[in-house]
Amino acid sequence: MSSPAIIQVTDLHKTYRVGEVDVPALRGVDLEVKAGEFLSIIGPSGSGKSTLFHIIGALTPPTSGQVRVADQDLAAMTDAERTRMRRRTVGFVFQKFNLLPNLTARDNIAVARYLGGSDANKPDPQFEGALSLLGVAQRLGHKPNALSGGEQQRIAIARAIVNRPAILLADEPTGNLDTENSRAVLEIMRGLNQRLGQTILMITHNPEAAAYGHRTVQMRDGKVVG
Amino acid sequence: MTGKLVLENLKHRPLRTMLSTLLISVSVTLILTLVGLSFGMSEESQHRQSSIGADVVIRGSTASSVISFSSASIPEGAIPKIEQQPHVKMAIGVMNHSLDFPLVATGVDLPRFDAMSGGFTYVDGGPLKKPDDVLIDKDFADQKEKHVGDSITLIPNQPWHIAGIIEPGKLARVVVALKVLQQLDDVGNKVSQIYVKVDDPGDIPAVIEELKKLMPANDIRSMQEYIDAFSVTAIKGVKPFLSVMISVGVFSGFITVWLSMYMVVLQRTREIGILKSLGASQAFIMGIIELEALIIGFTGTIVGILLSLLAHWLIFHFVPASIPMVVKPFWWPIAAGIALVASALGALYPGLSAARLDPIEALAYE
């Protein structure tokens, strides 16, 4: 792949303070993800993959090391700058879907558009096309509690890509889904990657799910091991 | 979008929203009702005094404030001397006897009072004739369900015969013969206050000047000055009372909203985490918590105004002879301001807590 790197992680460390004890979560991670790549990160619980996800997603700052995402240095960012980055540069898909329960599917997506600085009511033909690809165009008027797990995750994906982020970050996106819905969601993600060139970084426990990516990176004990 | 998010949040927990609104409305009702009662008491007193037809009021030397009735300390013998003063047309003495608060029985020499004031308007029955006769106003009669000819006990072991029912608003709700009340209270020939009518309103200052020389120990004022002293802003203690009530309203509204919005933040920690993951700023999170509190404050104000109108209706229909309550619409925006300030302040800490939540911890919140 000759595309430029959209994520560059060098000697990344992250240590959490739990009570009076320092707990190292990342112990020198090096990683490079090229634009348009679909990367799977696999590893056991406690391997540090979620921490890596949170740092790349600008949810928390690194303790040390370099992290560049879409030409932005995350290590040097303030809280407010990380907040701004989350609006348009990254989109999240979570294991528990994390839709706002009080809002309809349409409004969940509209909130992301609004926070991203777009007019939530302005039609977006390209996004409407993506909604068709996700197969949820008929379910937009429902609230999350009226949607199946598969439908909720598709809405979550729609919300994650509505602002055309440089990177789609997916944390165990099939962890709460049955086999059929898991396959459908993974196919959707592969479709987004292939048709729209969406860069995807997916964390998973499941080797079958990881196989949907172009390549798989293994983590253990806070390091990339393969 | 912010408004929609806030409205959907309010709709999502209708019981919490309703209870918070009701608690805010209680503060608003409390303020408006107490203000209405204060103004009602003041305006009723002003109306009662102004309808007597006097130009000058002489009160006992023991009178401390306008709303306190002095004991009967002025000898009746002063009345003929007052009437001999230049420009004085006539003078009458009255005596007050406090019944169950706020009720007062007033003893008058009825023919002389009629001559000064034009007399009472009788809804039923007629003037005082026998020593145990009493006149009561229509509000009191309705409240007690009494009619002309009925017996009524106003003072323990002292039954009165209702001779007439009068239109409310003049002098007092309960009127008896002056001599009878003087005997009952064993005050001899003394009165609580003397009302003086002068030949011409332009003579009032000169008459007051002369009366002050005649009765230097007494409180002597023009009726206008006396009436003005009954205004809410002039009565000592009313302004501090209203200030205390407003403070209580602000405090209780503040605590209500604080608790309510703190609950909101606890219940919605995960949702706040979701919004943060989408790039919501601290100001945005703070804004939705504040806006939600302000909507509760505003709705609480509307409900509070309606409840104060209900309180007015209940007082008017069921206890019309108690402290009168008036509706003061100019206090509605003041009450709204109080409720909104309390709501905004109450939401400050919960809003800041929500805005400062760590997005990862918030997303992990179960």
pLDDT at B60 (0 to 100): 82
Query: Cβ of A87 and B278 within 8 Å?
Result: yes
The sign one gets for the Cα dihedral A155, A159, A164, A165 is: negative
ipTM value, please give it: 0.93
In chain A, residues with a C-beta closer than 8 Å to the C-beta of B355 are none
> Which H or E run includes A24?
strand A21-34
Instruction: Tell me which chain B residues have a C-beta less than 8 angstroms from the C-beta of A102.
Output: 5, 8-9, 11-12, 271
Identify residue B364 by its one-letter amino acid code.
A
Q: Region A177-192: what's the mean pLDDT? A: 91
Give A152 or A2, the one with higher predicted confidence: A152
Confidence of residue A187 (pLDDT cuts 50, 70, 90): very high
- pLDDT tens sequence across A22-78: 999 999 999 999 999 999 999 998 899 999 999 999 999 999 999 999 999 998 999
Q: Are A120 and A91 in contact (CB under 8 A)?
A: no
Predicted structure pTM score: 0.80
Query: Is the Cβ pair B278, A107 closer than 8 Å?
Result: no
Q: Does A200 have pLDDT greater than 90? A: yes
Q: Which residue of B has its CA nearest to A86?
A: B279
Cβ–Cβ contact B358 with A under 8 A: yes
DSSP B279: T
CA–CA distance, B120 with B124 (Å, rounded to integer): 11
Residues of B with CB below 8 A from A100's CB? 5, 271, 274-275
- Give the pLDDT confidence score for residue B63 in this predicted structure: 57
Q: Name which of B4, B279, B358 is nearest A86 (Cβ-Cβ).
A: B279
Positive or negative, the CA dihedral A157, A158, A160, A166 is positive
Contact criterion met (CB < 8 Å) for A98 and B270: yes
Q: Which of A88, A103, A112 sits opposite B8 (nearest CB)?
A: A103
Q: Which CATH superfamily is domain A35-60+78-224 in?
A: P-loop containing nucleotide triphosphate hydrolases (3.40.50.300)
CA-to-CA distance for B199 and B328, rounded, in angstroms?
37
pLDDT at A195: 86
Closest-CA residue of chain B to A80: B281
- pLDDT computed for residue B62 by the predictor: 64
Does the bond joining B102 to the residue before it have cis omega, within 30 degrees of 0?
Answer: yes
The predicted pLDDT at position A165 comes to: 92
Q: Residue A129 pLDDT more than 80?
A: no
Q: What is the pLDDT of residue B44?
A: 84
> Chain A residues with CB-CB distance to B under 8 A?
54, 57, 59-60, 80, 83-88, 92, 94, 98-103, 107, 110-112, 114-116, 120, 159
For residue A179, give every residue at least 6 positions away whose Cβ sits within 8 Å of its Cβ, in sequence order, or none. Answer: none
- Of B85, B23, B284, whose CA–CA distance to A83 is shortest? B284
Q: B16 — contact with chain A (CB < 8 Å)?
A: no
A139 pLDDT band (50/70/90 cuts)?
Answer: confident
Backbone phi, then psi, for A223, in 5-degree steps?
-135, 155
Provide the residue-wise pLDDT of chain B in tens; the chain has 366 residues: 888 889 988 888 899 899 999 989 998 998 899 889 888 888 888 888 888 889 999 988 765 555 555 577 899 889 999 999 999 999 999 998 888 777 888 999 999 999 999 999 999 999 999 999 999 999 999 988 999 999 998 887 788 999 999 998 888 899 999 999 999 888 888 999 999 999 998 989 999 999 999 998 888 999 988 888 877 676 677 778 888 888 888 888 889 888 988 888 888 899 999 999 999 999 999 999 999 999 999 999 999 999 999 999 998 888 877 778 889 999 999 999 999 999 999 999 999 999 999 999 999 887
A215-220: strand order across its sheet: A90-93, A167-171, A199-204, A38-42, A215-220, A223-224
Nearest to B278 among A86, A107, A120 (CB): A86
- List the one residue out of B187, B205, B188 whose CA is nearest residue B196: B205
The residue of B278, B284, B285, B365 whose CB has the most chain A CBs within 10 angstroms, and thus the best one to mutate to test that interface, is B278
Q: Quote the distance between the C-alpha of residue A38 and its chain's center.
A: 11
Q: Where does the pLDDT of residue A123 fall: very low under 50, low under 70, confident under 90, or very high at 90 and above?
A: confident
Residue B170's contacts (CB-CB under 8 Å, 6 or more residues apart) are B48, B51, B52, B117, B120, B121
Q: Is B276 on the interface with A (CB under 8 A)?
A: yes
Contact B12 A57 (CB under 8 A): no
Q: Say whether pLDDT at A155 is over 70.
A: yes
Question: What value does the mean pLDDT of chain A take?
Answer: 90
